[in-house]
Amino acid sequence: MNSVGEACTELKREYDQCFNRWFAEKFLKGEGGGDPCGQLFKRYQLCVQKAIKEKDIPIEGLEFMGPSKGKTENSS
């Protein structure tokens, strides 16, 4: 599957390959320590965030993109 931004698709593929390799070769064998794909994920995440802004995609309320600064909970 391609990424939300064309410029991010290759980064997504690199991250997916890294994660899948780590998951199959390390995590499933009980060697879950470390985060070998963290830097790839951060680069991909920044690219996606930039693409979302450029395409003016509304993301309000989507917590997977990170906590909103200044966000307050409404009490009823």
Q: 1-49 pLDDT, tens per residue?
A: 778 778 899 999 999 999 999 999 999 999 877 889 999 999 999 999 8
Q: Is 19 helix (H, G, I), strand (E, B) or coil?
A: helix
For residue 16, what are its two tokens?
A: 């997916």
pTM: 0.68
> Rounded to an integer, what distance in angstroms lies between the CA atom of residue 67 and that of residue 61?
9
Are 68 and 23 in contact by the 8 Å Cβ rule? The answer is no
Report yes or no: 20 and 60 within 8 Å, Cβ to Cβ: no
**Tokens matching residue 41:** 């994920």
